[in-house]
Structure 1
């Protein structure tokens, strides 16, 4: 059944094996068993950096969920635990020149660099050049843990990020102020302040995802997605670490988003949240959000771009770029989506054999 007159949810079905075959995925293992360290160092050193990366609106992929024990997409509880599928979908989007970058954990960044190396070795076009690369820092607040609000540094630290020349860091700060877990939120707050302070010392951009959360009846933490809660956490996040000049905010979309825009002078990227299975929803949210204020500078989105129902992540990504970069309407973005389904499926397979 179609979701609107402009879009049919099942008009196209993307299959990862057509784009990123399993045999190609397993080539990563072969590299890791031999000379992965030198390859990754060389890739980091040789990559072409984006000129003036922060001067325009941004579309950045979020690929840090599995490290926090978040693997579910819809009814599939382990969709993002399939690294072959997950990595292939990330590359499918990252191959686009219109995509500005990726935020990920070390395992994802390593795998991306290795596939990019194999692609360039076969005279293919790099998908890591001219991209903003952000390292995810704190993933210790494992989903489902009794102490989930305690979210220490477990992925990159700032020394790691600067050592390999990534362009910035990302942290999450979830605040449960209603239960005894509040003390763990406040411990995480102190950790985040230290990370921001370290980024300030290095003039390194730091992307903060501050969220007010609550425990639902099933014992699962959910985001308080109303505007007043978002306004409160913005003030907490921007006061961290001695200076706000390097802080970007990653915030959920909600109604009355102009109030969110007016809550800070810092740049804001709209997050995507849980996968909705219907790209039209996120396109409408991003369109409305981008009209709310000039400090809304794009999106940092994972599940809704990588797992957009049955659709092609590349096509959905291009539709999002139409809205973020070109200020197109939702209808125009959907037209772009439909005209790009299944394009360049041989981007990898025509080179890496």
Structure 2
């Protein structure tokens, strides 16, 4: 039996779009951190960048009914603190009444479409700071891929710095997800070596006129203790879709979560589309790692 009434969402969007604003106005909010001070955020902002694939299924995230069902399961589990998404997904979840007592993270730059010739020119095409503060969004998020051979990176860096400055002025926490990237056979590939991640952290940390509200969103790589030694900024770990076994993935998260400065997980596809398709079990394992 479905946990969500997507038909009601479609009806509201067509006939009563004002209900979205009402849902945000009535949403029960919570402090950013509480208890153990850690966060477990479910990420679902991939589709807006044209990144629909999971594992061997290139269109896994294309079915919105199915995605919302999986998100509903995830948000119902103990230990899940919130969700990260673009306005279309967050608005769907608001209409479904699934955002009460959850941290809502707004994804800002989705213009660097996967596979596009302009992928490094990662325009800010989704949330902006004024809209998030007006709607009561709790957290902002940006993706920042740095290709030293692509001049479009400069525009992305400048736009990201501007977003950090605006977020700090609005006292809105903002997480930066930096990578050193390059094109390999025409595809953008992120360098996940320890040294590359350390360099990306150093570059991202200095963006904007204030770092007071800046967080990092970083991949789990070898030498993670060296990565975390490179910054004092609070950090959430990302999951990705790396094809490793679930046990190996959970073990790497557990080890990284023990490092100073690591404050939790922001994971999407790995948990929403697990190998055995048991979303509830995957979420519960990750929640126990974040909130032991």
TM-score (norm 1): 0.79
Closer/same/farther in 2, CA of residues 115 and 105 from structure 1, 3 Å limit: same
Q: Are the aligned partners of 2:32 and 2:103 in contact in 1 as well (CA < 8 Å)?
A: no
Counterpart CA distance in 2 for 1:260 and 1:277 is: 21
User: Residues 80-110 of structure 1, C-alpha deviation per residue, up to 9 Å, x if partnerless?
Assistant: 1111111111111011231010110000011
Counterpart CA distance in 2 for 1:213 and 1:79 is: 25
Count of matched residue pairs:
291
1:288 CA displacement:
1.3
1:317 CA displacement:
0.9
Q: Does 1:162 align with 2:130?
A: no
Match of 2:90 among 87, 100, 109: 109
What does 1:270-285 correspond to in 2, within 5 Å?
270-274=237-241, 276=243, 278-285=245-252
Q: Does 1:211 align with 2:182?
A: no
SS in 1 for 2:177: strand
1:216 CA displacement:
2.1
Gaps of 5+ in 1: 1-17, 117-126, 327-353
Gaps of 5+ in 2: none
Correspondence for 2:211: 244
User: Residues 281-331 of structure 1, C-alpha deviation per residue, up to 9 Å, x if partnerless?
Assistant: 32111111112x2201111111111111123212111101111111xxxxx
Counterpart CA distance in 2 for 1:57 and 1:80 is: 27
TM-score (norm 2): 0.95
1:250 CA displacement:
0.3
Q: Aligned Cα RMSD in Å?
A: 1.5
Q: Are the aligned partners of 1:92 and 1:313 in contact in 2 as well (CA < 8 Å)?
A: yes
Correspondence for 2:195: 228
Q: Are the aligned partners of 2:44 and 2:85 in contact in 1 as well (CA < 8 Å)?
A: yes
Runs of 4+ in 1 over 4 A off after TM superposition: none
Correspondence for 2:166: 198
Closer/same/farther in 2, CA of residues 276 and 91 from structure 1, 3 Å limit: farther
Correspondence for 2:30: 50
Closer/same/farther in 2, CA of residues 143 and 101 from structure 1, 3 Å limit: same
Counterpart CA distance in 1 for 2:274 and 2:2 is: 16
SS in 2 for 1:79: coil
SS in 2 for 1:214: strand
Match of 2:284 among 318, 340, 344: 318
SS in 2 for 1:316: helix
